[in-house]
Amino acid sequence: MPRLTITRVRSAGPSETHAVAAALAPLLRAGDVVLLGGPLGAGKTTFVKGLAAALGVTDTVTSPTFTLVRSYPTARGWDLLHADVYRLEQLQDVIDLALPEQVEEGACAVIEWGERAAPALSPDYLSVTLDYVAEAEDAREVQISFEGQGWKERADQVAMAVDPTC
């Protein structure tokens, strides 16, 4: 199944990016994979902070750029894995992080620069791409798409959660 776009929304700044992520949180399940994309500084870690807060994570969420993976317990009873694979050069490096195994064991993975990790993961994932909006410094376009049956079944819920005007 090719990747299908669910919706595009505009975020005026970090608090709205948090709100978009928080709207998705109730739809996440143990074993889900969310791939984050966009240029440097577009708000990928900001998105994860909003998602983590909505999942009841009480730890401070920071970028895993140098540690590669951070794990946060959620109020939902499963761990939120926050990975950043920007510095990894080979698919084997992603495999060595054991992300597929941790997802299979019931964690939910949110992966910055996720396209680099996609071949090592389930073909069923949500993709969130953040991009700059030229006319506004803090504004971002957030495009949400999916691949796979699990997200196809939730596509309408995702669209309504992040854009109730759908």
Separation CA 30–CA 87 (nearest Å): 26
Reported as a single tens digit per residue, the pLDDT across 6-58 is: 999 999 999 999 999 999 999 999 999 999 999 999 999 999 999 999 999 99
* Amino acid (one-letter) located at 161: A
Integer Cα distance of 46 and 51 in angstroms: 9
Spell out the domains of the chain, with CATH numbers in brackets.
Answer: 4-162 (3.40.50.300)
pTM over 0.85: yes
Q: Which residues on neighbouring strands pair with residue 84, listed in sequence order?
A: 112
**Main-chain phi, psi angles of 135, to 5 degrees:** -85, 0
Residue 146 φ then ψ, to 5°: -145, 165
Instruction: List pLDDT tens digits, range 58-71.
Output: 999 998 877 899 99
